[in-house]
Amino acid sequence: NAGVTQTPKFQVLKTGQSMTLQCAQDMNHEYMSWYRQDPGMGLRLIHYSVGAGITDQGEVPNGYNVSRSTTEDFPLRLLSAAPSQTSVYFCASSPAGAVYEQYFGPGTRLTVT
């Protein structure tokens, strides 16, 4: 099993550009989530999904969209990148009945200039 995979590993965007961060898991987990990690702060939840077709907002959802068309994939879209979105983004998945047992991807380091 590859576990949770994320692409790309690094990305540089200009202000106003859009892009999609990819996340996939092969563990048949129902729950998936996106976090951002900023210096001196813990991980903050952006969006999450409790199953295919179901998504909801986390703590810091503004400027991001998600969709969950399949169990495996949970892409995060930045609609119009801003410097404040410079961060490291982590995707995580967890099995039904153990939402707290999160398996994390390797992260994507995004810089917006």
CB 57 to other proteins: min, Å: 11
**For residues 2 and 26, what is the distance between their CA atoms, to the nearest angstrom?**
7
| 26 part of the interface to other proteins, by CB under 8 A | no
CA torsion 47-103-68-10 (nearest 10°) is 70
Phi, psi of 83 (to 5 degrees): -55, -30
Supply the minimum distance, in Å, between the C-beta of residue 106 and other proteins: 6
* Shortest spacing between CB 81 and other proteins, in angstroms: 24
Distance CA 31, CA 50 (A): 5
Provide Rg for the chain, Cα atoms. 13
Size of the site for other proteins (CB under 8 A): 25
The pattern of x and - marking residues 75 through 104 that bind other proteins according to CB under 8 A reads ---------------x--------xxxxxx
Residues that bind other proteins (CB under 8 A): 3-4, 31, 33, 35, 40-45, 48, 50, 56, 58, 90, 99-107
